[in-house]
Amino acid sequence: MGLSVGSVGQLALSGSWTSSIRLLPAVGIDTALTLQADLGGWKVGGTAEYFATDGYVWQTFDFGGEFGAFDFNWTLLFGPLAPAYLYSLGTVDLSFGGLDFTVYTAHVGPSVPGYFFGGPSGGAVLVTKADLAGMKLKAVLGFGAQLTPFTITFSGVGTYTKTYPVDPFPGGFQFTYLELDLEKVPFCCGITLDVGFDFVKAGFRSLDLTVRAIPICCGVTFDAVVGYTTTSKSVEIVPRWQGIEGCFSVYGDARFVGNTWQGIEIYGFKLRCALGDCTYLELLTALNVAMVEQILDEDIFQGPEFEYLKLGFCGPGCCGGKYTLTVTAYFQPMGSLFGLRRLAVEAKVPLMANFTLNLGLGFTVGGPVNLALGWTFTF
């Protein structure tokens, strides 16, 4: 909820202030201030981020609005410590004739010590979406860029990252890749298919095939997700029981010797069951940590950890909001009670309509306790 704090004509100012005070193991404060001006439907703003161990690390500027049928948005990222320009991202959206178009343009600045090396480079990505008699078609065409996460890392006393959805490749504005996805293709007996092809300048790169709602019995179905690249194959089986959605996932790979299928290698599995509106239980076990993190595209475990148990809770808070509480226990094969290695607790409690209290608590067995208290204030 935002509250205007100033106006000149049609100009309105709003923003937010987020801070985190680390109390343990050492005292420090991280803070971010966002200001935004709205003038006749066009928005101009920015966010400054300060970290106790390294100072003024990030500065972003944002600009956006509508012009006729076009919707424009731009973001510029700077590193004040250098000082240097780091990254820019622009998007233009247009809907016309039953088609939705989005053009992304991205550019990386020159190499900046402390932040990253490798620039400058830039490119563009065109995304087209259409509804074909209930089927969803998506085409992605890249010229010197790809619609995959691009992360800029600052390494000082601490390490901080900024991630954006477009990765501009070095090499200039030239054809990079073409991706075609078609979802909800009817097959038979209520079964549908999702098909995705990915081509690069050198040729075929990957094929993804998802078979949805394969019936077993008694309201139980499963989805089969098969992925092929020029160097690997992967298989994911997702059972579904009517009334329990996405409760169990298995991650693995199809094993072949030559052209002969030898079976399925299981990398891990995840159990997640909703116990209420936002209350849930989640268990992730990785038999192969590296492969599970690769499939999920997340950095989840530290050191010898291979499993976590997460409990999420929520309830009514002030002014129509909800508090949330997440408790996550990370386990290792041996070495402590039940193999417990790390515990993390996060809580968010709304105290006013525009003020939320944040709490973070964590510890590693044999290591220090981490405690942080913070807030988010919007105006």
φ/ψ of 370, rounded to 5, equals -110, 130
φ/ψ of 339, rounded to 5, equals 80, 10
Give tens-digit pLDDT for 349-368.
999 999 999 999 999 988 88
Report how far residue 144's alpha carbon sits from residue 122's, in angstroms, rounded to the nearest whole number.
Answer: 6
Give tens-digit pLDDT for 247-295.
778 787 766 565 556 666 788 999 888 887 888 999 999 999 998 898 8
Are 145 and 168 a contacting pair, CB within 8 Å? yes
Report how far residue 127's alpha carbon sits from residue 104's, in angstroms, rounded to the nearest whole number.
Answer: 8
Share above pLDDT 70 across residues of the chain, in percent, rounded to a whole number? 91
Give the pLDDT of residue 254: 62
Give tens-digit pLDDT for 123-165.
999 999 999 888 899 999 999 999 988 989 898 888 899 999 9
Report how far residue 371's alpha carbon sits from residue 4's, in angstroms, rounded to the nearest whole number.
Answer: 34
Residues 267-283 as b/e (b if ≥16 CB within 10 A, e otherwise) read bbbbebeeeeeeebebe
Per-chain mean pLDDT for the chain: 86
Which of 352, 268, 344, 356 is closest to 312 using CA atoms?
344
Give tens-digit pLDDT for 201-241.
777 888 888 888 777 776 667 778 888 777 777 777 776 65
